[in-house]
Amino acid sequence: MLRVFRNLIIAGILFYLAIVAGLKVYVETYAQAPVDPPVSVIVVLSAGPVNSERDNRTAVRTAVGAELYSDLVAAGHDPVLVLAGGKEPSERRAKALGMAEVARDAGVPDASILIDDQSRSTLQNAMFSRQLVEGEFDGRTVVITDRFHLPRSWASFRWAGATDILLLAADGEDEEVDWDNLFREALKWPFNAVRALAVSVLVALGWPADDLVSLTN
């Protein structure tokens, strides 16, 4: 029994290190695909509250989303910009509210901004974004975050029903990614997968998806 337990621990550690290594390869070899219109939805994912200088990761991601929005509008398109980020107990307000200020100051009109101020996980980002766009991801959805977070974001939005997803790295192709981000992200993958599977099974058994949001936090 002790040997089985030890082998399970070793397997778990090796699996975790494999995820870290896979993420490292992904961010080091990442090549940004062009954002070809038409784009229906632009979703910007938060990474903490927007700071007063507006130079942290959430502010940068939001600025990238606002710039993409402006470029698409200038080309004759009409996407919506979803800003996703709820409020942690220690925070004064939802992250999405600060993101909206950045977007407005960059010229995005209120009519084109949808605010998800409830989500506290990537799965919830996807679920609430789907609700905000009236239940369906019709057309192309661009998801903006940093490279280390892109694979899990893609998996979460695909699970939530988006079929035409384009990933956009706010940190570009060459910015160095901290090992801390990779280690934390690798820990989140198994929990993300288990929670998504649990919700999918319960929905298949008849539970309304909206009643299961707490399982995805």
More confidently predicted of 134 and 75: 75
**Spatial CA neighbour of 65 closest among 127, 23, 107, 128:** 107
Q: pLDDT tens, 14-46?
A: 999 999 999 999 999 999 999 988 999 999 999
Q: pLDDT tens, 148-182?
A: 999 999 999 999 999 999 999 999 998 989 999 99
Structure tokens at 66: 């606002």
Within the chain, strands assigned E span 41-45, 80-84, 113-116, 141-145, 165-169
Residue 1 has pLDDT above 90, yes or no: no
pLDDT of residue 136: 73
pLDDT of residue 210: 77
pLDDT of residue 5: 79
Q: pLDDT tens, 44-56?
A: 999 999 998 998 9
pLDDT of residue 187: 95
